[in-house]
Amino acid sequence: MNGPTTFAIHPMTRSNRSRGFGTKAVHAGSEPDPTTGAIMTPIYQTSTYVQSAPGDHKGYEYSRTQNPTRTALQNALAELENGRHGLCFATGMAAIDAVIKTLRPGDHVVSTNDLYGGTYRLFTKIFEGFGVRFSFVDMTDKAQVLAAIRPETRLIWVETPTNPLLRIIDIAAMAELAKKNDCLLAVDNTFASPALQTPLDIGADLVMHSATKYLGGHSDVVMGALIVNDDTLSEKLAFIQNSSGATPGPMDSFLVLRGIKTLHLRMARHCSNAEAVADALQGHGRVDKVHWPGSPDHPGHQIATRQMRGPGGMVSFSLKGDRMEDAFAVLSSTRLFSLAESLGGVESLIGHPASMTHASIPREERLRNGLADTLIRLSVGIEEPADLIDDLMQALDGRS
């Protein structure tokens, strides 16, 4: 497998903002604390704010509505995504929930058939009950998306790269469809992070994150975020954020603020480690297919090189044969890769989509979508690549 030679892994944003991504990651949203000069945004662990007279306050009244630590994070995320407004939520799911609450019964959403399981569950098990309608199609095929759009379609919901097959959806093509059909385009940017992909720059109206993953980056916080440009949309979402109340606390906001200061360094290392791991897996006799968008033979490689600044740290692979036990044996014999849900932290994780994240999808449907019983998903961390490769090789060789 050849490396991702056409990617510029060290990211400089293509936006017209003058500073490079690494500089923004370190400085975005942080101003020295006005009262003490503290260089780090304090954790404003407070529920309320004293007013000098009724209605006479410093912009903060109650921490569900606004909190200075959260404000700093929201501004930082907006800057990293080249957007005007950032909004943080208690979890990624709460962020998606807020977006769908901007819709009304009868409204229709087109999304991908390769969607994060929790998003699929929220759409079908919660919002269909309130009369919002959803269609799920193969979004790597523009014709299928076009065919699914109806007069009442209000939103196109994209996730790219997808989980766990790392398929790539063409954001610019989806933006064109959205504009022509008078609906909004939302992109779940969790797998790429703004270090590698900034969808607002290429026509998206809304970016969503599970900040639990790469933005937080240290597996110590659960959080969600939305970034938009449009003032009216931002106001609508802020109204829902405050009314529904799924907001994150100041401690969690601080943790994500701290996480994003190293986002560019972490993502560069996630990408280079993923490349080394994907290469090693490709060369192993027991491995059938390796899925990683940096590989030139990955079906989404061309689009990925256009819309991403690096292929990311997620790799999945299937074993030869179709025995789930073979996958289980590998999953239970890695020593560095920990068997766990989630992704995007500094430590490497290994998972089995068929029995973990995608267990609720019937087997036939899973197989039809290309999700083999032997498929193994890796969130490649930032450890020494040689140690990660050693660990996978000993697990594949059954040496443990």
Ligand X SMILES: *Cc1c(COP(=O)(O)O)cnc(C)c1O
Among 200, 222, 267, 371, indicate the residue that binds ligand X (CB under 6 A): 222
Q: 101, 107, 116, 373: which one is catalytic?
A: 116
**Is residue 234 involved in binding ligand X (CB under 6 A)?**
no
Restricting to residues 85-104, which ones interact with ligand X according to CB under 6 A? Answer: 91-93
**Residue 252 binds to ligand X (criterion: CB under 6 A):** no
Mark whether 104 is an active-site residue.
no
Residues 95-154 that bind ligand X (CB under 6 A): 116, 118-119
Minimum distance of ligand X from residue 186's CB (angstroms): 11
Nearer to ligand X, 101 or 213 (CB): 213
Kindly tell me the sign of the dihedral angle through the C-alpha atoms of 390, 396, 398, 400: positive
Nearer to ligand X, 190 or 395 (CB): 190
Binding of ligand X at residue 159 (CB under 6 A)?
yes
Nearer to ligand X, 83 or 224 (CB): 224
Q: Which is nearer to ligand X, 7 or 157 (CB)?
A: 157
Q: Give the x/- contact pattern for ligand X in 162-191, rule: CB under 6 A.
A: -x------------------------x-xx
The single residue of 70, 213, 266, 309 carrying the catalytic annotation is 213
Token digits for 380? 């490649």
Size of the site for ligand X (CB under 6 A): 16
Min separation Cβ 59 and ligand X, Å: 28
Pairing relationship of beta strands 153-159 and 184-188 according to DSSP bridges: parallel
> Most distant CA pair in the chain: distance in Å?
74
Q: What is the C-alpha separation between 209 and 188, in angstroms, rounded? A: 6
Active-site residue, 213 included = yes
Quote the DSSP letter at residue 62.
Answer: B
Query: Is residue 179 annotated as a catalytic residue, yes or no?
Result: no
**∠ CA 300-343-11, rounded to 5°:** 55
Q: What are the CA-CA distances from residue 13 to residues 159, 202, 259, 377, 379 (Å)?
A: 21, 12, 19, 29, 24
Whichever of 345 and 385 has its CB closer to ligand X, that residue is: 345
* 196/21 Cα distance (integer angstroms): 10
Clarify whether 120 is annotated catalytic.
no
**Which pair of tokens denotes residue 131?**
């009369």
Residues 281-320 that bind ligand X (CB under 6 A): none
Instruction: Report the C-alpha gap between 89 and 391 in whole angstroms.
Output: 36
Binding-site member from 224, 259, 353, 381 for ligand X (CB under 6 A): 224
CB of 212 to ligand X, least distance (A): 4
Q: Hey, what's the torsion of the CAs at 390, 391, 393, 396, to 10 degrees?
A: 170
**H or E element that contains 365:** helix 363-368
CB of 43 to ligand X, least distance (A): 20
* Least separation in angstroms between CB 137 and ligand X: 18
Query: Least distance in Å: CB of 57 to ligand X?
Result: 31
Nearest Cα to Cα of residue 32 among 45, 44, 42? 42
User: How would you list the strands of the sheet with 184-188, edge to edge?
Assistant: 85-89, 224-228, 206-210, 184-188, 153-159, 108-112, 133-137
Q: Which residues are known catalytic residues?
A: 64, 116, 188, 213
Q: Give contact residues for ligand X (rule: CB under 6 A).
A: 91-93, 116, 118-119, 159, 163, 188, 190-191, 210, 212-213, 222, 224
